Amino acid sequence: MNAPRMVKCIAGLVSIREAEVEKLTASLARQESVRARFHRNLHAMQTLFDAAGGAPAQAVPPTLLHNQAGYRLAMLDMMQAHRTALRAHEEHMQVERQLLAATAARCEMWRRELRKRERRLDAARERGEQRSQDELAAQAWIRSRA
């Protein structure tokens, strides 16, 4: 494969890798917003749990106390389920971050290779142009002497 075609192929590969990096970055941003929502929900649940646990100022019927205890227990279960889901989500985010880092490193490697090959191609073109200029100058010199 000749050098210009190779540079074109590598440039295409770099653009594909950059698109992968952008896609992973966008995915990670969406996951970060989900993580923030998990934290907000957990905070709201904790607030509700704390509000439901206050000591009554006056005598309260036992059924209401039982209902309140059931509510608090349900809130505890729901908060635990949310914490478990949050941990799983954060683990998935960590894997995604590692994938993003690896993909970005591969992309950067191909960018460096592309720049190196472009420099080589430019140098070869410049050498060819210089050679042509030298030949023209030599011909002009020979003609001027004749």
Q: What is the pTM of this model?
A: 0.76
Q: Are 103 and 17 in contact (CB under 8 A)?
A: yes
Q: Are 3 and 117 in contact (CB under 8 A)?
A: yes
Residue 139 has pLDDT above 80, yes or no: yes
DSSP-derived secondary structure letter, 53: T
Q: Are 24 and 103 in contact (CB under 8 A)?
A: yes
Beta strand residue intervals within the chain, DSSP E: none
Residue 103 has pLDDT above 90, yes or no: yes
Percentage of the chain beyond pLDDT 70 is: 97
